[in-house]
Amino acid sequence: MVMEFTIAFSFTTQNDTDTLSAQLTITDNNLISLENKQPVQISPVWSATPPLTAVSLEQKSLALTAAQNTSGSPQSIKVTLPIKAVGTSLSGKFESAGVIVNAQYQFLGYSNSGRIAVGNFTIPFPN
């Protein structure tokens, strides 16, 4: 049986002058659900959402790039995605382009949350 979970991924630059760039790729059988008009939401984390120069969303990947950071504050963005869950976890790869980006996840409706380090990751699904 295929379960669906909604996961909010937050990306924040570590430095006040860095421009946010992040790519998340799913490397297992899970998919970002793009059917049934399920919403994908982009929202602020703790400050205004920076203008985005590029966003790409596919069944296996999410990539986003913000406009150049001139705010003097770290850039941050939250992307909430529906995931078609297969198995007990979500495996993927997180990359950022040349700057330190901190990534976190939170399952909506569950207390399951945590950090994602750059490189390969595995997130267990809620029981």
For position 107, what pLDDT does the model report?
Answer: 98
Give the list of residues 6+ apart from residue 35 with CB closer than 8 angstroms, or none.
none
For residue 127, what are its two tokens? 């029981």
Q: How confident is the model at residue 123 (pLDDT cuts 50, 70, 90)?
A: very high
C-beta pairs of 38-41 under 8 Å, 24+ apart in sequence: 38/82, 39/80, 39/82, 40/79, 40/80, 40/81, 40/82, 41/78, 41/79, 41/80
The secondary structure of residue 16, as a DSSP letter, is T
- Mean pLDDT of all residues in 108-125: 97
Task: For residue range 36-48, list pLDDT tens digits in order.
Answer: 777 899 999 987 8
Query: What's the alpha-carbon Rg for the chain, to the nearest Å?
Result: 14
For position 1, what pLDDT does the model report?
Answer: 66
Task: For residue range 34-79, list pLDDT tens digits in order.
Answer: 887 778 999 999 878 899 999 999 999 999 999 999 989 999 999 9
Q: How far apart are CA 10 and CA 7, in angstroms?
A: 10
- Looking at residue 95, its amino acid is E
pTM for the structure as a whole: 0.94
Domains of the chain: residue spans and CATH: 3-124 (2.60.40)
